[in-house]
Amino acid sequence: MKLSIVSNKIIGKELAFPIYMDNGVMYLNRGIQLNEKYIKAIQNMKINLVYTDDGISDIVLKEVLDSETKLKMIKTLKTEFYSIKATKKINDKVIKELIEDIISQLDMSENALFINSLGHTDEMTELCIHSIDVAILSIMVGVNYGYNYRKLFNLAVGALLHDIGKLLVQGKEHSLEGYNLLKKNYMFDTSTYICVLLHHENVDGTGYPEGVKASRIHEFAKIVSICDGYLNALNKEGMMLHQAMEKVQADTLRKYDEEIYKCFNKSVYLYPVGLEVKLNNGKVGTVILQNRNYPIRPVIMINGSKDREYIDLNHKDNLTLFVEEVML
């Protein structure tokens, strides 16, 4: 399987994962041959990257959270968000059950992928997808940070509801509005609404709404901030995965906590499985495995090699090799 930009270059390729519409209907099934009509439709659904089947059996891909399960969660959250927008009241039971489901069903294995295969055409669906994605990624960072279940749960609530203020206002006021809304609901831990208030603060004090520096920013907010920034780079700014990771790395000194960045770096890989890359020795291959503690040094299967040549960039014999270019 190969990770590809959604463009006419993949016409004729077979889709490796199903694509769903925001109403729950499967638009394209696994194995469908992509044509120009399908490419345009996928682009209109704001999906930038897809996995196609290139016949390489060595690569087995799994989703962090399978699309059908995620779709059900999005529908549940969408119903709840519409209710909050209308009543300004939160059904804490719905939110807590949703968090329990997310935590229990996440696949945290090394080669599980953060795949966006859910199309959307309206702002509410986009908000729900983003909220669940931030929650998923925040949980992954929390696990790598060593959180117990209780801390993971409270972090996930803050992450899922980090943009809840956008149901009532737009712009920078949404952090404070979300904080005030959550604070009225005594069923949530204090840390969750502090997280919502501070998730746009930067460690150097240039964030909002209060402009506080690192020592006054709650740890949950620091985690949600980096996850939110990464996902916005991918989905709103249209960056590729490696570009979004590089942006997060560049922003770390100014915006993000360095220790949390290290845990984030273990949760999202710079070169995901299925990505085609060129090495500095001129060889081109496909990423097939990750080295968890060395995310910039995955295992590569060289394209076109008769006897399936594999290069583990973290092996002592290959330390002079590195990824020179991403071939998307």
Average pLDDT over residues 2-26: 88
What is the predicted pLDDT for the residue at 240? 82
Buried b (16+ CB within 10 A) or exposed e, 64-100: bbebeebbebbebbbebbeebeeeeebeeeebeebbe
pLDDT reported for residue 304: 83
End-to-end CA distance of the chain: 13
Distance CA 56, CA 20 (A): 25
pLDDT tens string 181-237: 999 877 899 999 999 999 999 999 999 999 999 999 999 999 999 999 999 998 888
CATH dotted code for 2-53: 3.90.105.10
H helix count then E strand count, the chain: 10, 12
Mean pLDDT of 132-150: 95
Average pLDDT, the chain: 91
Q: How far apart are CA 275 and CA 241, in angstroms?
A: 10
pLDDT score of 112:
59
pTM above 0.85, yes or no: yes
* The listed CATH number (2.60.40.1180, 1.10.3720.10, 3.40.50.620, 1.10.3210.10) that belongs to domain 63-267: 1.10.3210.10
Residue 115's pLDDT is what?
Answer: 66
Quick one: how far is CA 198 from the chain centroid?
20
